[in-house]
A and B are shown apart, each in its own frame.
Chain A
């Protein structure tokens, strides 16, 4: 408002009382505030559009038939566009996993905690190394299973045991076990 008085023709008739000044300021502050609120509100959908779209979110469950997996074998499925390892453990592998002293583990978990009750031989993990996201080896026949007979990530040398727990190397946590449940005797639904 100071600018008005600079011009030669300003009438100077504007209300110069305190109250008038406050009322004028209020209108300007309100107008600018509304512009700010509006701009913020307009930006929100522009940020939100980058979040996963409806079709991506809908792909968030995967059904896997585990009946054809022989003991000692594993299959790779896809869950949320990432590899999913489903492995049927042999009795020896189960025993090996249960022998480990929990206090030796970087991320202490028992095999039972990582499998579904009644189906302790079905190990479902993400095929994503918890270090930097590479796909560990060991799911396919003949691949390097690492020093602990589970999975081995070749990127930076993380070794996982038969229960998919981190034993050696830089990975901070065990291979992630996604939420899953048996929808029938042979089919699991992940996610």
Chain B
């Protein structure tokens, strides 16, 4: 009995402290949270028209799109962003031949040493090298970009909610804020600091990255696809989905036979279970 009496007293004590010192003051001063002014502009990521080929349980890579996306990365993003967890050799998974990968790797200058003097320098890449950062270190990268460090893009689509659509929306979603909303938000203290750009898909709608893809035809696609802003944004989002998870399609392809096998096995296990218990079944009266 004493333990229960003690418990009741302790329980009422805990609840009393919680109620009188935390809950009650909180309830008296109850104030619904005030969203920061920029919330008025926030948009959820949207998918490009038609979505992406690799989505859904039966999704497959669209290799032509991935190759186009790689071209956008190479010609646009790579000026500032590294891709450090991806190696040139991985490009063979996009449908490039071994010779093409070799040639592609050699186009990139990766950190290395001068074979004669041993000094740190940049040497042509080999298939086994990772994609290099355009900067020597983070300090240099931040200094060259108005103190905003361009993040590595290898895992970008997994590091953001709804990542593929986020990348697509962010790149194609630059623009001017709605004047009415802007007037209302400015009253609440909203501003677009100098050097930042308005983008409703970014966390606080003010992004340090200048619109990377600003005009149609900025990239001259090797396969002749018309390079609209929308097209380029979708292509690079697809490419970055592949860099974030190269095993995506293989994973889903492996999943189906495994699930099918387990379904049959579980059915058999169920029949076996029922069979074993059949002898015990009570007679319903």
* Contact residues in A for B268 (Cβ distance below 8 Å): 27, 30-31, 34
Question: In B242-265, which residues have CB < 8 Å from any A CB?
Answer: 261-262, 264-265
Cβ–Cβ contact B128 & A28, under 8 A? no
Considering only CB atoms, which chain A residue lies closest to B254 in the complex?
A45
* Contact residues in A for B35 (Cβ distance below 8 Å): none
* Contact residues in B for A41 (Cβ distance below 8 Å): 261
A50 within 8 A of B: no
B158 within 8 A of A: no
A47 within 8 A of B: no
Contact pick for B89, options A1, A14, A31, A58, CB 8 Å: A58
Cβ–Cβ contact B280 & A55, under 8 A? no
Contact-residue size bin, chain A (C-beta under 8 Å from the other chain): 20 to 34
Given contacts A35-B265, A38-B262, A58-B127, contact A5 B271 (CB under 8 A): no
Cβ–Cβ contact A58 & B128, under 8 A? yes
Contact-residue size bin, chain B (C-beta under 8 Å from the other chain): 20 to 34
* Contact residues in A for B283 (Cβ distance below 8 Å): 11
A17 CB, min distance to chain B CBs, angstroms: 14
A180 CB, min distance to chain B CBs, angstroms: 17
Chain A proximity mask over B10-51: 1 for CB below 8 Å, otherwise 0 = 000000000000000000000000000000000000000000
* Contact residues in B for A34 (Cβ distance below 8 Å): 261, 264-265, 268-269
Contact pick for B279, options A11, A37, A65, CB 8 Å: A11
Cβ–Cβ contact A1 & B261, under 8 A? no
Considering only CB atoms, which chain B residue lies closest to A59 in the complex?
B128
B7 CB, min distance to chain A CBs, angstroms: 43
* Contact residues in B for A54 (Cβ distance below 8 Å): 89
Cβ–Cβ contact A28 & B280, under 8 A? no
Question: A30, A54, A59 — which one has the most chain B CB atoms within 10 A of its CB?
Answer: A30
B275 within 8 A of A: yes
Cβ–Cβ contact B275 & A24, under 8 A? yes
B281 within 8 A of A: yes
A69 within 8 A of B: no
* Contact residues in A for B281 (Cβ distance below 8 Å): 11
A178 CB, min distance to chain B CBs, angstroms: 17
Question: In A56-75, which residues have CB < 8 Å from any B CB?
Answer: 58-59, 65
Closest 7 CB pairs of A and B: A4-B279, A34-B265, A31-B272, A31-B268, A14-B279, A58-B89, A58-B128
Pairs across A and B, CB under 8 Å, 22 listed: A1-B279, A4-B276, A5-B279, A7-B280, A9-B280, A11-B283, A13-B279, A24-B275, A27-B268, A28-B272, A28-B276, A30-B268, A31-B269, A31-B271, A34-B261, A34-B264, A35-B265, A35-B269, A38-B261, A38-B262, A41-B261, A58-B87
B residues neighboring A (CB under 8 Å):
87, 89, 115, 127-128, 261-262, 264-265, 268-269, 271-272, 275-276, 278-283
